[in-house]
Amino acid sequence: MRHEIAPRSGAGFELKAGERLTVIDPRGEQVADLLAFAKADPREAISSGRTLDYANRIFLTTGDLLYSNRSNVMLEIVEDDVGRHDFLLTPCSKDTFRIIYGDTDPHRGCFGNLAAALEPWGIDADSIPVAFNCFMNVAVDGETGALSVDPPKSKAGDRIVFLAKVDLIIGLTACSALQSNNGSFKPIEYQIG
Report in angstroms how near the CB of residue 173 gets to Zn ion at its nearest: 6
- Binding part of the chain for Zn ion, among 8-16, 22-30, 110-118, 159-167 by CB under 5 A, reads 110-118
* 91 DSSP assignment: P
In Å, how far are 51, 90, 127, 139, 185 from 59, measured between CA atoms?
11, 16, 24, 10, 24
Report in angstroms how near the CB of residue 130 gets to Zn ion at its nearest: 12
Closest CA to 151 of 180, 129, 188, 177: 180
Per CB under 5 A, 117 contacts Zn ion: no
Among 15, 21, 60, 92, binds Zn ion (CB under 5 A): 92
Report in angstroms how near the CB of residue 117 gets to Zn ion at its nearest: 13
Report in angstroms how near the CB of residue 18 gets to Zn ion at its nearest: 29
- Binding part of the chain for Zn ion, among 11-19, 49-57, 109-117, 148-156 by CB under 5 A, reads 109-117
Q: Report the distance separating Cα 115 and Cα 14, nearest Å.
A: 15
Report in angstroms how near the CB of residue 186 gets to Zn ion at its nearest: 12
Residue at 96: amino acid letter:
T
Residue at 154: amino acid letter:
S
Per CB under 5 A, 110 contacts Zn ion: yes
Map residue 143 onto helix, strand or coil. Answer: coil
Per CB under 5 A, 175 contacts Zn ion: yes
Per CB under 5 A, 172 contacts Zn ion: no
Q: Report the distance separating Cα 134 and Cα 150, nearest Å.
A: 13
Report in angstroms how near the CB of residue 83 gets to Zn ion at its nearest: 20
Closest CA to 101 of 136, 171, 149, 54: 149
Per CB under 5 A, 35 contacts Zn ion: no
Map residue 136 onto helix, strand or coil. Answer: coil
Among 38, 177, 188, 189, binds Zn ion (CB under 5 A): 177
Map residue 132 onto helix, strand or coil. Answer: strand
Binding site residues, Zn ion, CB under 5 A = 92, 110, 175-177
